[in-house]
Chains A and B, each alone.
Chain A
Amino acid sequence: MFDLLVLLIPVFPLLAVLANGLYGSRYSHELAGRLAFGSVGLSFLCTLGVLASVLANPEPRVVIAYSWIFGGNLSIDLAFLIDPLTTIMLLVVTGVGFLIHVYSVGYMHGEEGFTRFFTYMNLFMVSMLLLVMGANYVVLFIGWEGVGLCSYLLIGYYYEKISAGKAATKAFVVNRIGDAGFLLAVFLIFSHFGSLDYTTVLSQASSLSTEMATAITICLLIGAFGKSAQIPLYTWLPDAMEGPTPVSALIHAATMVTAGVYMVVRNHVLFDMAPIALTTVGIIGGLTALFAATIGLVQNDIKRVLAYSTVSQLGYMFLACGVGAYTAAIFHLVTHAFFKALLFLSAGAVIHSLSGEQDIRKMGGLHNKIPTTHKVFLVGTLAIAGIPPLAGFWSKDEIMAHAFVHGYYHLYALAAIGAFLTSFYMFRLTYLTFYGQSRVDPPVAKHIHESPSMMMGPLLILAGLAVVGGFLGVPPEHGWFQGFLHNVATPLGSETHEVGMSMLLGLMGVAVAIAIGGWGLAHYMYSIRPQIANEWAEKFPRAYTTFLNKYYVDEAYDRFIVEPFKKLGMLWDWFDQHILDRFVVGIGKGTDISAEAITWTEKHVIYAGLNVVGYGNHLLAWSWRKLQSGMVHHYAAIIVIGLAIMIHLVVLWFAGSSSVGSSMY
């Protein structure tokens, strides 16, 4: 029963993919939409069944579907591992996924590519489920690249837009760099353990040397940084906003981009053995959290602000991994899925009500025109900014407190500054979108309307989750969430720091002060004195343009990586056509000319000789000329005769010599 439930989880969306992909054009959009969200809903129900079973028995269980790749000493099953970590991920993926699917049916209503959209979305669900359920690195990798493919297809959904095509290619190729790193890790793991199953590898991890553990984990990190958009591989995520907004919510905020965090936590046993890798994760996470936040300060596209915010929040999750707070990383992953999906979807509702406008300079004053959207967006903002008691406060505070208590003051500082900036840019976004003077284009302003209930329903549920989701992990470090994950996400040999209540409360107070400080500054700059933002931009033009142009990283990558490879391609192509090919043709011509020359010599110089050599050359020249002249009917004859002669000559020649040889015995 349990096995069947587990197997059914990915099968439902897969069936929907097949139905909509193969026959979707033959029935209505309505049915296609129902199949799409219905299948994900069924997966969610199965997940609840699995959750019940795991609550009763939290021991990891492996469910094998069939033997996939095997031979020699290698054996890889298509198998699923169910433990508390997987269960949490399944709940997020199917639960939030279901809500976003329902929302999408409303959002994509009337689109020409409606069925195509849902085929890709369900395929994404299948891949994401394989990713979190896989019992070995290779099944994870099917999901890992599968979500990349679906991300590619959905970013390029509006394929006629050139920018969409470019963004799609960029996302896939940058992800592939990470994937290559992941593959290397897989090979290293197989070389060392002779197995790719989590149960075998993670239970034998203590046999690793520190160097080997470091090598494996650094390679894993390359993969994680690609998928989860961390420095230096984050550039694809902001561009990925070319896709429809529900895609940004599902793939580029709630699920796919968190795969890297999941993977690190899944392999935390290996990371615990590699201090260098852990330090790397922490620092990269902290830097990304801060770096992306600074870019988010000045962006004018509502989705891009949220995209940089996602990069930044993912940075917090990696920072948590770096300080050994794996539970907190997953906790933040969950709450982030709630509030970021909420923010993206309500941003989608804003865009929807403004007939497709995404530029916040052309918004403003929307709070009384679309009040429900405004309220849920505000909930999301409060949650991500870390205002208690909303979800983001608890998870972010847990990460920061853990960093501080364990003595990672530099990371704490990065996280604290980042938290201030987060609060600031999110409230900036809220003020510019919903308050102040309306800057909406007049023709658009006439049509402002609240979104249909198909979209508002999921928004309200997500808003509810963003409010109460944090209580899963209350009290800090000892909540239900931490208890549930205790066995799968506790660092090796970690001693429990008994921290005084006063210190925890003090850290909470600081966190709240930071969040309110950011809010206050945003309030001052965008509500009380709205002109001040432009004054500051003029006062610090260099900082402003640097932020606005995202530190010119894209330009640098183009100039120093993409273009040189294209040039190299041109150069080698030229080499292929003009050197290598000429060389071959030259040999051919040389033979032809020398044959002509020998023929001439033979004819005019040693004509009378008529010796065997000359005749042979003559024959050669003649045959080459015949071939060159393209008289193909000679060809068959030449092969047959040549073959016969060669066999005879060679065999007779060696038969003679070897009979001499053998007579020596």
Chain B
Amino acid sequence: MQEELSFGFPILSFLTFFPLLGALVVWGMKDYEMVRKATLGIAGVEMAVAAIMLMLFVPDTAAMQFAEKHEWIPFLGISFHLAVDGVSVLFLGLTAFLTVLLVLYAWDSVTLRPKAFFMSILALETTFMGIFASIDLIVFFVFWELMLIPSYFMIKLWGPGKDCHYAALKYVLYTLMGSVFMLVGFCLLSLNYFEAKQVYSFDFIDLLSVPISLGDQLLIFWLIFLGLAFKAPVFPFHSWFPDALVQGPIPMSVMFAGIKMGTYGFLRFSLPLLPDASRNETVVAILMTLGLAAIVYGAIVAIIQPDFRRLLVFSSISHLGFVVIGLFALNFQGIQGSLITMINLGFSTAGLFFLAGFMYERLGHTDVRQCTGLAKKMPLLATFLLIIGMASIGLPGTNGFIGEFLILLGVFQAWWVYGAIAVTGVIFAAAYFLWFYERAIFGPLKESLPAVIPDLNTREWAIGVSLSVMIFWIGLYPSPFLRMVNGSVQAVVERLEPGMATAQNTRQDRSQEIFRN
């Protein structure tokens, strides 16, 4: 049984709803200056509270912490249950951190309906917080779906691309389709619980306590897989991703590229709730194949992209491949590395999207064919691009290395062939990033560029510095972060050991029953 630690103050509810309340307050404001200052204040308070929560978090344990539970729909066993453990706690911090940076980013750069934009960012923060804090499947699902609303509007209304309407719609329909399957999967979990306990529950903690037959697990696994894989996006379900990230506004790209809800879902729900399915040979083979395909495919397609944002999209897909193979290595290093990598991407890939935004604002595009020799005009941008880029390609000393190294080590121990294939991703990553850097930053300054290109201003500099600090902190002294996740990673690994959660029932296979109906 999962241990739960509660806390006097409903800190998770606060983190979840404070931005939304803030958005309502902002709504009432008239003055643009007030709006952005208030938004920054709200995001800052949220960040501070999240930091306090991280400091109070007890490391080296798998316990669910800061737990709050309120009845919601008792007859279906749905309760408003929030809690965090090592798997989720860092995501809350990351979300709060990135939101502050997003507000800073949008400070001057959003001129169209700025109030609505800032409100969307805050609303988005609420939904993200909700996703990572909730451990009731339905509450999770509600936040998961609510997230579509602000993100849809952000892509549609503030997307710089001419196809942003198309991109927004495609994104919503695509991921919504996956969510439907996921919801069915969740309901099946609850039904299974009902069979054992005669009551319904969608509570993650409750669901852990009942065994599930392998057939059911496989069915539920694939249903949930669709929801998570579409959102992640796992190759080959990524075709909404380039559209949304290239057509949408930079803040949206930052969130999509930086906060990995999809793969978080695998670690949060699929692995612990469905250990037999996750361990199943076919499942592992399929996910490993998809992950490796993503690594190689994403990186090689990224090499030839002339547009920086599209390059980043494919680099992101490649990195996600690493996360997937790490998770399905099913051993400590693999899972630990995947978790750290998911957090890392919030600094590296998301950071690169910020820099792409800085370029876009100055040049009106991010096409490498139209901009060479930027180091001359923008040495600061060149420096941050190098630091964050090196983190992205996993240079030792940066955060990227910690995650990638652990993933590769884990995968190699589990299946050395997969590990050996994945290592090639390290080479391709250097190729796509450095070739881009060579063409955009090095070389003589392109004549067609504007005569005056200002280097980063203080606000943008602050964004770069905060990201760099995190990159080196995790890269050089990851101890606090590792200690926070290690307890929960250990718990997941133990659950994945054969015999731990295997259903010992002889009941008829649930999946067959469903198909008979």
On whether the beta carbons of A632 and B152 are closer than 8 Å, the reply is yes
Stretch of B11-19, B413-421, B455-463 contacting A (4+ beta carbons < 8 Å)? B413-421
CB distance from A432 to the nearest CB of B (A): 32
On whether the beta carbons of A71 and B333 are closer than 8 Å, the reply is yes
CB distance from A457 to the nearest CB of B (A): 33
By a CB distance below 8 angstroms, the chain A residues around B478 are: 68-69
Stretch of B22-30, B31-39, B402-410 contacting A (4+ beta carbons < 8 Å)? B402-410
Mark contacts of B156-186 with chain A using CB atoms, 8 A cut-off: 1 yes-contact digit, 0 otherwise: 1000000001000110111010001001100
Does A650 belong to the interface (CB within 8 Å)?
A: yes
What is the CA–CA distance of A654 and B373 in the complex, to the nearest angstrom? Answer: 64
On whether the beta carbons of B442 and A164 are closer than 8 Å, the reply is yes
CB distance from B413 to the nearest CB of A (A): 6
Restricting to A66-98, which residues have a CB under 8 Å from any CB of B? Answer: 66-74
On whether the beta carbons of B332 and A647 are closer than 8 Å, the reply is no
What is the CA–CA distance of A73 and B489 in the complex, to the nearest angstrom? Answer: 13
What is the CA–CA distance of A316 and B278 in the complex, to the nearest angstrom? Answer: 52
If the complex has contacts A149-B390, A183-B408, are A162 and B443 also in contact, measured as CB distance less than 8 A?
Answer: yes
If the complex has contacts A176-B430, A191-B416, are A572 and B187 also in contact, measured as CB distance less than 8 A?
Answer: no
User: What does DSSP make chain B's interface, helix, strand, loop or mixed?
Assistant: helix
What is the CA–CA distance of A141 and B396 in the complex, to the nearest angstrom? Answer: 7
What is the CA–CA distance of A570 and B304 in the complex, to the nearest angstrom? Answer: 7
Does B491 belong to the interface (CB within 8 Å)?
A: no
Does A538 belong to the interface (CB within 8 Å)?
A: no
On whether the beta carbons of A630 and B301 are closer than 8 Å, the reply is no
CB distance from B306 to the nearest CB of A (A): 10
Restricting to B428-463, which residues have a CB under 8 Å from any CB of A? Answer: 430-431, 434-435, 437-439, 441-445
Mark contacts of A178-221 with chain B using CB atoms, 8 A cut-off: 1 yes-contact digit, 0 otherwise: 01100110111011000000000000000000000000000000
Mark contacts of A155-185 with chain B using CB atoms, 8 A cut-off: 1 yes-contact digit, 0 otherwise: 0100110101110110011001101100110
Does A568 belong to the interface (CB within 8 Å)?
A: yes
Does A536 belong to the interface (CB within 8 Å)?
A: no
CB distance from B516 to the nearest CB of A (A): 10
Query: A662 touches which one: B198, B305, B443, B477 (CB < 8 A)?
Result: B198
Does A290 belong to the interface (CB within 8 Å)?
A: no
What is the CA–CA distance of A121 and B373 in the complex, to the nearest angstrom? Answer: 23
What is the CA–CA distance of A572 and B300 in the complex, to the nearest angstrom? Answer: 8
On whether the beta carbons of B395 and A569 are closer than 8 Å, the reply is no
Restricting to A119-157, which residues have a CB under 8 Å from any CB of B? Answer: 138, 141-142, 144-146, 149, 152-153, 156
Query: A159 touches which one: B331, B333, B443 (CB < 8 A)?
Result: B443
Query: A630 touches which one: B165, B300, B508 (CB < 8 A)?
Result: B165
By a CB distance below 8 angstroms, the chain A residues around B441 are: 159
On whether the beta carbons of B188 and A654 are closer than 8 Å, the reply is yes
On whether the beta carbons of B409 and A572 are closer than 8 Å, the reply is no
Does B517 belong to the interface (CB within 8 Å)?
A: yes
On whether the beta carbons of A173 and B148 are closer than 8 Å, the reply is no
CB distance from B19 to the nearest CB of A (A): 18
If the complex has contacts A71-B489, A187-B416, are A651 and B405 also in contact, measured as CB distance less than 8 A?
Answer: no
CB distance from A333 to the nearest CB of B (A): 24
Restricting to B460-516, which residues have a CB under 8 Å from any CB of A? Answer: 476-479, 482, 485-486, 489-490, 493, 507-508, 513
On whether the beta carbons of A569 and B239 are closer than 8 Å, the reply is no
Query: B191 touches which one: A160, A190, A628, A654 (CB < 8 A)?
Result: A654
What is the CA–CA distance of A234 and B477 in the complex, to the nearest angstrom? Answer: 35
On whether the beta carbons of A66 and B239 are closer than 8 Å, the reply is no
Mark contacts of A565-588 with chain B using CB atoms, 8 A cut-off: 1 yes-contact digit, 0 otherwise: 110111011001000110111001
Does B143 belong to the interface (CB within 8 Å)?
A: no
On whether the beta carbons of B200 and A569 are closer than 8 Å, the reply is no
On whether the beta carbons of B426 and A661 are closer than 8 Å, the reply is no
Query: A71 touches which one: B165, B426, B443, B482 (CB < 8 A)?
Result: B482
Query: B408 touches which one: A168, A187, A570 (CB < 8 A)?
Result: A187
What is the CA–CA distance of A570 and B302 in the complex, to the nearest angstrom? Answer: 10
By a CB distance below 8 angstroms, the chain A residues around B490 are: 72
Does B375 belong to the interface (CB within 8 Å)?
A: yes
Give the interface of A toward B (CB within 8 A): 66-74, 138, 141-142, 144-146, 149, 152-153, 156, 159-160, 162, 164-166, 168-169, 172-173, 176-177, 179-180, 183-184, 186-188, 190-191, 565-566, 568-570, 572-573, 576, 580-581, 583-585, 588, 627-628, 630, 632, 635-636, 639, 643, 646-647, 650-651, 654-655, 657-658, 661-662
